[in-house]
Structure 1
Amino acid sequence: MGVFETIFRRPKSNITPEGYFKMLNGYTPVFTSAPESIYEMELTRAAIHSFANMCSKLKPEISGSAYKNLEKILQFRPNPFMDTAKFLYRIATILSVNNTAFIVPIEDDMGYIMGYYPLLPQKCEVVQYEGRAYLRYTFGSGQKAAIEFERVGVVTNYQYADDVFGSSNAALNPTMQLITTQNQGIINGVKNSASIRFLAKIANMIKPEDITKERQRFTEDNLSSENNSGMIIYDAKFADIKQIDSKPFTVNALQMQQINENVFTYFGTNTKILQNSFTEDEWNAYYEGKIEPFAIRLSLVMSNMTYTPREIAHGNAITFTANRLQYASNQTKLSISTQLFDRGLLNRNGVMDIWNMAHVEGGDKYYIRKEYSEVNQLGKEVTPNANSEGSGISGNDPAVVVDNDGGGEED
């Protein structure tokens, strides 16, 4: 059984559509995969890879009781062919290249969701069948399958003209042409600067084929390794011979910088993100502008394709989160750990997560310091066991340990 049969156990490939689903904008709802040129350029691929690599570290979590078993599936192996990191990486890559990414559920024979798969079809059409909207896919192998629109997750970028799909990356074409031209110029410049050594002027008018023969003869006699004398001797056939100073070819730095900035602006990134040399603040800016919007859209798309409106109303949802403190400085991590731990906002395992350390036994308990006093009680004598309302608590008292069930105990 191949990938197609695993994903579409009961494919509706033989439906007879009643026509394209009518859109408000009058566009024919047809999606076609983008050419691979945007992914074949070094700079654009680096920008796409950097984004997808960051997204692959998102953690899927399920709230609510419906499909709770999917949480571990999403966290480890969303489908038989991909782990979670590959799954997220592929969605982010497809989205960056095509500006439209499709996610379909993998179901068992009873229609129960067992996983998810990101599709990369050659063509997708929104058709109408028995009064419902279907997405009909055509793959490179020639196989076709259709699935109800509401059961598919569609993540988009630059969605403007189309009601369903994102726009193409045509706006980047001028920059792509500049990259191609610049690369060709560099190659030709290096070749020319490395190959031309002498300039010779022939005294008489001769045929083109004779010029070729004379150039070859002069090179063999004077420029080959057999010439050990260090002298160049030529006859009256040549009026003048000059040696050309070979200078290394240098790239126009301003042009290259402008091209890079165009790509960085389009993909919302910069050199430091691509080279993994960013600071804490630079990572936070990239996360806010690029990673978090993707996580929010993916969470909404997968929640809506998995749950019914009633299940969503009861708190069922799929969310993708990230440890934003992973790239924080040690000083920031230490400050957050100490400040939030003794206020009961973080438990020990939460602190371990900040420092990328393994959880510890009993690490789910929360601790609160007990030496705090109300402002209106400052200056008043406070007894360790005072029970009057508004009284302070001595710093000599032990901390309060709060279990997950809300109960407290002295520690």
Structure 2
Amino acid sequence: MALIDSFKGLLAKPKEFFRAKMLNGYAPVFSQFGNNIYASDVVQNCIDIIATEISKLQPRHIRTDSNGMQIVQRGNLNRLFKFGPNDLMTTRDFLEKIIWLLYLNFNVFIYPIYTSTVGENGIESRTYTGMYPLNPYQVDFLQDPTGTLYVKLFFQSGESFTLPYSEVIHIRKKFSMNDIMGGGMNGQPDNEALLKVLRINDTVLQGLEKGIKTSMSIRGIMKIATMLDDDAQRKERERFEKLVSSGDSGILPIDLKGDFTPIAIDPRMVDKDTMTFLKTSVQEWYGVSLAMLSRDYKDEQYQAFYESTLEPILIGLSQAFSKTLFSPRELDVGNEIVFYQRDMMYLSTTAKLSLIKTAGEQGLLSDDQKLALLGYPPIPGGNRITQSLNYVDRSIINIYQLNNAKTGKAVKEDGEE
């Protein structure tokens, strides 16, 4: 594959490696990772909601100048982000894959492929040609004699690659006990608390299934008053079942040999509050409300979901991408990767009109941007920006009021009789 060839071209040169030393005393060798929680439909639905929303983001390479103005840069990074970061994925696929791997493993590694050139001034320049989310089954952290940290990735194909850790985008979830990896002490997903709830939920569902099957299958006992061998009993039972299936009137004619005793089975179902509690516990674990799961949310509910669940992921993505893709010098002059929300399309029509009114009066939106919020295409001359005259620059507000006061006084004097 082209991806494997790209890895082989940028492997670390053979040198002496040893295990990186951890402050907590653990050997930094991590295997990926159980996926038993994904048998739950609630878990999959919660992660799917998060992954779907993140996949709508628009990553951009920007630079903030000395005046605080953000300028979208022209270059290979934004070309990759616009349609597809690699040959196998669109940008939407790329972002969705990252989130699923993050929630599956509590860690996700993204490898940016690049070519490097050094100018006459001795400064390295990188041209990025692709980015790939990786799913290794084992990760080793190594050091060379100079203390430089490397990451050795093992894949199911049998391939393994050793790369400088500084050149791999590493995004973590629940980064707490381990010094390098997200998750628990061993760098694996810490899902034990969630698994307890899922086990109870599974037991309840199995009980419901068995209760329903039992109530639908055994209706009574057919007592045969005569001594019959096995074949005769089977024929008698088949004759009785035939009567049951053909009894349109609900009355079964039975001869003197047979006696049918009905069994009243009343399976006790789990109450609604218990089922709601189990489901809500899973939703709270992932920060996804019932309104989001049912896709029937209001603006305020989405805003709460964004601020509590999505925004931390956006910040983490931006910082991890920027830290790896840019040199310290490039970061110092304002380069960064920002993941923008997609045109606020989740807002209701009323909220969009309110946003257009407020932002439009401040001169923050062009005509085309206002049309885009309402779902309309751009128009000729749509880059025009208008602003209300009801606002004044704060630095000249005193002069503005004094001039108005003088003008009012002059008008009054002229109008006196």
Distance 2:325 2:275 in 1: 46
Deviates more, 1:116-125 or 1:63-72: 63-72
In the alignment, is the contact (CA less than 8 A) between 2:343 and 2:372 conserved in 1?
A: no
1:113 correspondence with 2:128: yes
Q: Name the residue aligned to 1:303.
A: 322
Q: Name the residue aligned to 1:193.
A: 215
> How many positions carry a matched residue from both structures?
376
In the alignment, is the contact (CA less than 8 A) between 1:122 and 1:138 conserved in 2?
A: yes
Deviates more, 1:116-125 or 1:126-135: 126-135
Match of 2:149 among 116, 124, 133: 133
Distance 1:283 1:372 in 2: 31
1:84 correspondence with 2:91: yes
Find the residue that maps to 2:17 and give its secondary structure.
coil
What displacement does 1:109 show? 7.8
Distance 1:10 1:369 in 2: 58
TM-score by length of 1: 0.82
**RMSD of equivalent CA atoms:** 3.0
In the alignment, is the contact (CA less than 8 A) between 1:133 and 1:149 conserved in 2?
A: yes
Match of 1:99 among 103, 106, 116: 106
Q: In structure 2, do the counterparts of structure 1 residues 370 and 112 end up closer, same or farther at CA, with 3 Å as the change threshold?
A: closer
Q: Name the residue aligned to 1:163.
A: 179
Deviates more, 1:87-96 or 1:56-65: 56-65
Structure 2 matches for 1:169-208, cutoff 5 A?
Answer: 169-200=191-222
In the alignment, is the contact (CA less than 8 A) between 2:244 and 2:252 conserved in 1?
A: no
In the alignment, is the contact (CA less than 8 A) between 1:193 and 1:249 conserved in 2?
A: no
Match of 1:360 among 360, 379, 401: 379
Q: Find runs of 4+ consecutive structure 1 residues off by over 6 angstroms.
A: 201-204, 210-215
Identity value in percent: 27
Name stretches of at least 5 consecutive residues in structure 2 with no aligned partner: 64-71, 118-125, 184-188, 393-399, 410-417
Higher relative contact order (CA 8 A, sep 6+): 2
Deviations 1:183-215 (A, max 9, x none): 3222212211111111356889x9xxx998786
Name stretches of at least 5 consecutive residues in structure 1 with no aligned partner: 384-411
Distance 2:230 2:338 in 1: 71
Find the residue that maps to 2:254 and give its secondary structure.
coil
Q: Name the residue aligned to 2:395.
A: none
Q: Name the residue aligned to 1:40.
A: 39
Deviations 1:144-180 (A, max 9, x none): 1111111111111111111111111233111221232
Q: Name the residue aligned to 1:20.
A: 19
Deviations 1:279-304 (A, max 9, x none): 10000000001111101100000001
What displacement does 1:361 show? 3.3
In the alignment, is the contact (CA less than 8 A) between 2:12 and 2:164 conserved in 1?
A: no
Structure 2 matches for 1:9-408, cutoff 5 A?
Answer: 9-12=8-11, 15=14, 18-64=17-63, 68-108=75-115, 112-131=127-146, 132-167=148-183, 168=189, 169-200=191-222, 216-225=234-243, 230-231=251-252, 233=254, 241-245=260-264, 250-323=269-342, 325-370=344-389, 374-376=400-402, 381=407
Find the residue that maps to 2:297 and give its secondary structure.
coil
What displacement does 1:382 show? 6.6
Distance 2:97 2:245 in 1: 60
In the alignment, is the contact (CA less than 8 A) between 1:29 and 1:162 conserved in 2?
A: no
In the alignment, is the contact (CA less than 8 A) between 1:9 and 1:109 conserved in 2?
A: no
What displacement does 1:23 show? 1.7
Q: Name the residue aligned to 1:386.
A: none
TM-score by length of 2: 0.81
What displacement does 1:253 show? 2.0
